């Protein structure tokens, strides 16, 4: 092979490659490649930053079918002298290229797990390990850990690893509206992953700012939006269908199961338009094998051959689930997460006014002697009962609503008996106040016992299913505890339920989690039972009324019993009792459900599979129906569990293994494919020993006058770095959460640190502040926008096609060459850092050679003048030697990728379609198989390597 046969470098061919860190020539200006993705019609989409004088630091996007994009020919590399102290400019340049180059697909280990503001817990790293393992064609998985284990942190770690691999530039996170800000907050403060919150107001604002017809989801690269906003597919469908994502996260994904629902339609739009797909849910199974198979098919359509009969091993590459009693979790949580206390039943003897209602219900609505109820709607008497067991206020509302419904009927005479009975209930509740409520008196006593009051910081969350109960308690409770009427009483108690807007719900959660806000009591409905963190300043929870569902009880308790809880969670439930014969008080259902949930949680780590129904609504409905049949709570639970096992006999071990006794012993871990032991760590070459060392030297190189130009101050004792951001950095801040930028006034001054303890302290202080929940000081991780900005500034210090010459401890000229193989999607499959001598010898461990050659911060720069023309003449032969070396070893390096891909294609060959979609055509099934097979082929290495000369090590003059 001659020099003329070396790597093609122009962009005219479809296989042209533009790796991050490479320089390209577009419109007669030089640009630095940040990311490259393949489009359907416009060739490669290249995001770049200006490197030459007139476009320096400007951001741009190019499409190779619309622009002439030239990848700089490595043979034309110009060797230049480096006159910086200690060859600082050269060392920084090499480190910047190492940092900007995406890790190859063949790298399965975690690269960033220890960089963030969270404990290093292997169990929380398992989802990222599984996503990168290659066991699935793409990084797609369902994280189904039970309530409280830290699914948001697991998602953050997984996204961070994808970003480091160049597979996380465009991210969409979809959550319920009440956890939108919480999720956004966690990903920025802990992982430095900025998400722009696009609630309905945010989307409207952006649409006012961007040109008419512009897709709002292209305005920002990483966004978070509520599923309630996006599920309006008529409004957003055409936007979503015109955009592809690197990664999509859907939280509380059990809501996607109902086929034909708006949420399901949304999932069907997003799933095929993203590379990585992360679903999260503590309750992902609704008891129906086909429904769960549909959820799994979003991740991998070929995973399940028979939607009615499949086993755990069929989805082990897509699914991870642990509980607090799983061995790995239990061992790692010692001393870091207090064991939950008992669920204490607080019995309350009904007052005389309440006994009259119990008597009326037992006589007229729920007679125990077999007489028919006054209502012709079988379940309505239990609706009345549950309302009353909540509060007289709730019962009043239920009675009024039912009277209104009956009065609208044409046959009023046919409902006369029920109307008359409802009127009697209305009269019995008409004059009732908190003085007539045994549970209210008990709640006051319990709150005083745990220390809630005007002179205490103790907080409590009180759950009720009924909005009327919540509003009533919020009104009367502060005064009963001694809070002064007016602002103090109003501030002490907050109420949260589904009738509030998403902004109001998020504000409730934020205020309750901040230590110096005056709120002491949060009265909330079950809108807060999924995904909401209430444990920051609280470890006391009271069930004012008890849901008739084990799953819902567990979800409620999980709001304070979760990773990060420093105190033992305490649970109480108010149990209203009656002396009336035949009365159905709280001892009938609520008290026994509390006991069963506590037993299941301590033995199995979850109560989800006890009933075999897997859905809170289904549990409650079946229990009421069984009560009508005369069954007890225990008989109902056992009957449905046995029935479920009979109905899905082929799936019994799957359900037991993944939704019952999860992680109970080593076998469960092995079956799930995410066994114990340490999580593999990635080999990430580094010239600098730490981000701190790189940051300090880069700042000195790029801004030698930083004290004046940036108003920079660095406190060596605390590690605080404070500076005024220049215009190009301010421009990048448009990707940061808008509230964070505004509240912390980041456009005026940035406070950052490389000291983890200082960053943790700042985050903790923010949680104790009513001013802002956003920390003043952020940790400079590898993903932090400030580090990325400074890295880009280092890269453009060298001009077009330049490589520095470094005087080092080598006996002959040694050329540092980057070699990258990519797949058809433009993602690197193999990355090699080579040191090639002028006579063709190749060492593929460039960093080790640099250390042996003495390249480091203590080296001297003798300012020796080397013959760059003579050194440059060897570049073409060096590139030929490097390419020959890469081709020689390509097969071996490709093997870790080829094996899993071939296994997937084999499984795909055995996949019979249609298996999930009723009425689907066999032709559609074949098209799906062809599409997946084509995707598998596109992940294999293709074409020739991209080569780049980075620097030359020259021996010192003798």
Q: What pLDDT, in 10s, does the model give residues 765-777?
A: 888 776 788 999 9
Give the pLDDT of residue 928: 76
For 549: left if phi > 0, alpha if psi spans -120 to 50, otherwise beta; the answer is beta
In this structure, what token pair is assigned to residue 615? 């859905």
Inform me whether the pLDDT recorded for 258 exceeds 80. Answer: no
> Distance between CA atoms of 489 and 268, rounded to whole angstroms?
48
pLDDT tens track for 524-534: 998 877 778 88
Structure tokens at 115: 């960089």
Burial group, residue 73, by CB count within 10 angstroms (0-12, 13-18, 19+): middle
pLDDT score for 652:
46
Query: What end-to-end distance do the CA atoms of the chain give, in Å?
Result: 35
Mean pLDDT within 57-67 = 84
pLDDT at 744 over 90: yes
842 pLDDT more than 90 = yes
294, burial (CB in 10 Å: exposed 0-12, middle 13-18, buried 19+): buried
For 584-589, which contacts have Cβ atoms below 8 Å and span 24 or more sequence positions?
Answer: 584/361, 584/362, 584/366, 584/385, 585/350, 585/358, 585/389, 586/389, 586/546, 587/347, 588/627, 588/633, 589/546, 589/548, 589/623, 589/627, 589/633
Q: How far apart are CA 563 and CA 955, in angstroms?
A: 56
Between 455 and 907, the higher pLDDT residue: 455
Report pLDDT for 98.
95
Name the E strands within 539-658.
540-543, 570-577
In 493-586, which ranges are continuous DSSP H helix? Answer: 502-513, 550-557
Percent of the chain with pLDDT over 70: 91
Could you give the CA distance from residue 88 to residue 92 in angstroms, rounded to a whole number? 6
Parallel, antiparallel or unpaired: strands 59-63 and 44-50:
antiparallel
Structure tokens at 63: 């499409």
Helix (H, G, I), strand (E, B) or coil at 393: helix
Q: Determine which of 683-687, 811-815, 824-828, 855-859 has the lowest per-residue pLDDT on average.
A: 824-828
**Calpha distance 197→208 (Å, rounded):** 16
The pLDDT of residue 156 is: 97
pLDDT in tens, 321-377: 888 888 888 888 877 778 888 889 999 999 999 999 999 999 999 998 778 899 989
Residue 464 CA to residue 473 CA, distance in Å, equals 10
Query: How many Cα atoms occupy the beta-carbon half-sphere of 1 within 13 Å?
Result: 14
Verdict on whether the full-model pTM lies above 0.75? yes
Mean pLDDT value across the chain: 87
The mean per-residue pLDDT over the stretch 71-96 comes to 94
Q: What is the pLDDT of residue 371?
A: 85
Tokens for 83, please give them. 């006159």
Under the banding of pLDDT at 50, 70 and 90, the label for residue 12 is: very low
pLDDT of residue 494: 94
Q: How far apart are alpha carbons 573 and 885 in whole angstroms?
A: 71
Is residue 233's pLDDT more than 70?
A: no
Return the residue matching tokens 């849901």.
547
Do 866 and 954 form a contact (C-beta atoms < 8 A)? yes
Six token digits for residue 917 = 């979609």
């Amino acid at each position: 092979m001659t020099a003329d046969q070396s790597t093609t470098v122009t962009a005219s061919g479809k296989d042209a490659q533009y790796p991050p860190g490479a320089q390209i020539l577009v419109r007669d200006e030089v640009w630095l490649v940040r990311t490259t993705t393949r489009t359907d019609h416009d060739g490669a989409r290249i995001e770049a930053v200006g490197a030459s004088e007139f476009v320096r630091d400007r951001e741009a996007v190019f499409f190779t079918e619309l622009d002439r994009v030239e990848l700089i020919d490595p043979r034309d590399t110009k060797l230049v002298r480096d006159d910086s102290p200690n060859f600082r400019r050269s060392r920084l340049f090499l480190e910047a290229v190492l940092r900007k180059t995406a890790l190859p697909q063949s790298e399965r280990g975690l690269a960033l797990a220890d960089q963030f503001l969270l404990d290093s817990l292997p169990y929380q790293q398992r989802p990222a390990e599984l996503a990168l393992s290659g066991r699935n064609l793409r990084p797609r998985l369902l994280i189904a850990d039970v309530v409280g284990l830290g699914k948001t942190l697991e998602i953050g770690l997984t996204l961070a690893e994808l970003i480091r691999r160049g597979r996380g530039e465009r991210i969409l996170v979809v959550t319920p509206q009440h956890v939108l800000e919480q999720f956004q907050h966690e990903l920025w403060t802990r992982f430095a992953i900025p998400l722009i919150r696009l609630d309905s107001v945010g989307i409207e604002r952006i649409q006012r700012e961007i040109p008419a017809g512009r897709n709002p989801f292209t305005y920002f690269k990483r966004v978070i939006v509520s599923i309630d906003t996006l599920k309006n597919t008529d409004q957003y469908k055409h936007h979503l269908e015109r955009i592809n994502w690197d990664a999509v996260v859907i939280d509380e994904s059990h809501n996607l199961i109902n086929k034909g629902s708006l949420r399901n339609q949304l999932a069907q739009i997003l799933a095929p338009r993203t590379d990585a797909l992360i679903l999260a849910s503590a309750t992902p199974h609704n008891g129906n094998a086909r429904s769960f198979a549909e959820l799994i098919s979003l991740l991998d359509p070929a995973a399940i051959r028979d939607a009615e009969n499949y086993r755990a091993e069929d989805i082990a590459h897509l699914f991870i689930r642990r509980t607090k009693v799983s061995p790995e979790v239990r061992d790692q949580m010692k001393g870091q997460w207090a064991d939950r206390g008992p669920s204490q039943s607080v019995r309350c003897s009904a007052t005389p006014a309440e006994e009259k209602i119990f008597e009326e219900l037992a006589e007229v609505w729920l007679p125990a002697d077999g007489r028919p109820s006054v209502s012709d709607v079988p379940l309505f008497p239990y609706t009345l009962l549950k309302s009353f067991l909540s509060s007289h206020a709730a019962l009043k509302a239920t009675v009024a609503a039912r009277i209104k419904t009956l009065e609208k009927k044409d046959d009023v005479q046919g409902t006369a008996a029920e109307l008359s009975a409802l009127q009697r209930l209305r009269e019995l509740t008409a004059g009732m106040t908190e003085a007539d409520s045994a549970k209210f008196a008990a709640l006051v006593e319990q709150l005083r016992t745990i220390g809630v009051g005007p002179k205490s910081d103790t907080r409590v969350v009180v759950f009720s299913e009924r909005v009327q109960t919540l509003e009533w308690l919020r009104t009367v409770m502060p005064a009963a505890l001694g809070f002064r009427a007016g602002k103090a009483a109003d501030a002490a108690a907050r109420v949260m339920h589904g009738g509030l807007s998403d902004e109001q719900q998020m504000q409730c959660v934020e205020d309750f989690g901040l230590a110096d806000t005056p709120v002491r009591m949060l009265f909330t409905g079950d809108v807060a039972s999924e995904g909401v963190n209430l444990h920051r300043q609280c470890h006391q929870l009271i069930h004012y009324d008890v849901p008739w569902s084990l799953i819902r009880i567990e979800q409620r308790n999980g709001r304070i019993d979760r990773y990060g809880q420093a105190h033992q969670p305490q649970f109480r439930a108010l149990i209203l009792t009656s002396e009336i014969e035949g009365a159905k008080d709280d001892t009938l259902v609520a008290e026994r459900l509390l006991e069963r949930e506590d037993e299941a949680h301590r033995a199995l780590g979850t109560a989800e599979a006890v009933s075999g129904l897997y859905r809170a609504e289904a549990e409650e409905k079946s229990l009421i129906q069984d009560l009508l049949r005369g069954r007890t709570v225990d008989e109902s639970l056992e009957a449905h569990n046995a029935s479920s096992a009979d109905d899905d006999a082929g799936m019994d071990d799957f359900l037991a293994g993944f939704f019952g006794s999860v992680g109970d012993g080593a076998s469960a871990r092995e079956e799930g494919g995410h066994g114990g032991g340490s999580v593999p760590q990635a080999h990430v070459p580094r010239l600098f020993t730490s981000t701190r060392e790189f940051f300090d030297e880069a700042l000195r190189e790029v801004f030698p006058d930083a004290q004046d130009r940036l108003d920079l101050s660095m406190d060596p004792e605390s590690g605080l770095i404070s500076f005024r951001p220049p215009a190009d950095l301010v421009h990048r801040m448009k990707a940061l959460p808008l509230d964070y930028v505004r509240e912390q006034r980041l456009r005026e001054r940035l406070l950052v640190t490389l000291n983890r303890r200082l960053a943790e302290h700042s985050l903790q202080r923010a949680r104790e502040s009513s001013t802002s929940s956003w920390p003043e000081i952020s940790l400079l991780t590898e993903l932090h926008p400030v580090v990325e900005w400074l890295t880009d500034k280092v890269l453009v210090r060298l001009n077009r096609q330049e490589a520095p010459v470094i005087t080092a401890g080598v006996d002959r000229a040694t050329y540092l060459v980057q070699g990258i193989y990519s797949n058809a999607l433009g993602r690197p499959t193999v990355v090699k850092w080579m040191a090639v001598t002028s006579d063709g010898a190749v060492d593929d461990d460039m960093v080790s050679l640099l250390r042996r050659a003495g390249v480091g911060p203590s080296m001297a720069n003798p300012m020796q003048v080397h013959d760059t023309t003579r050194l440059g003449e060897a570049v073409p032969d060096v590139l030929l030697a490097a390419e020959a070396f890469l081709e020689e070893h390509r097969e071996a390096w490709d093997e870790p990728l080829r094996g899993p891909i071939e296994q997937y294609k084999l499984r795909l060959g055995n996949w019979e379609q249609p298996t999930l979609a009723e009425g689907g055509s066999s032709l559609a099934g074949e098209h799906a198989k062809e599409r997946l097979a084509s995707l598998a082929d596109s992940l294999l290495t293709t074409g020739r390597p991209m080569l780049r000369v980075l620097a030359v090590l020259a021996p010192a003059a003798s």
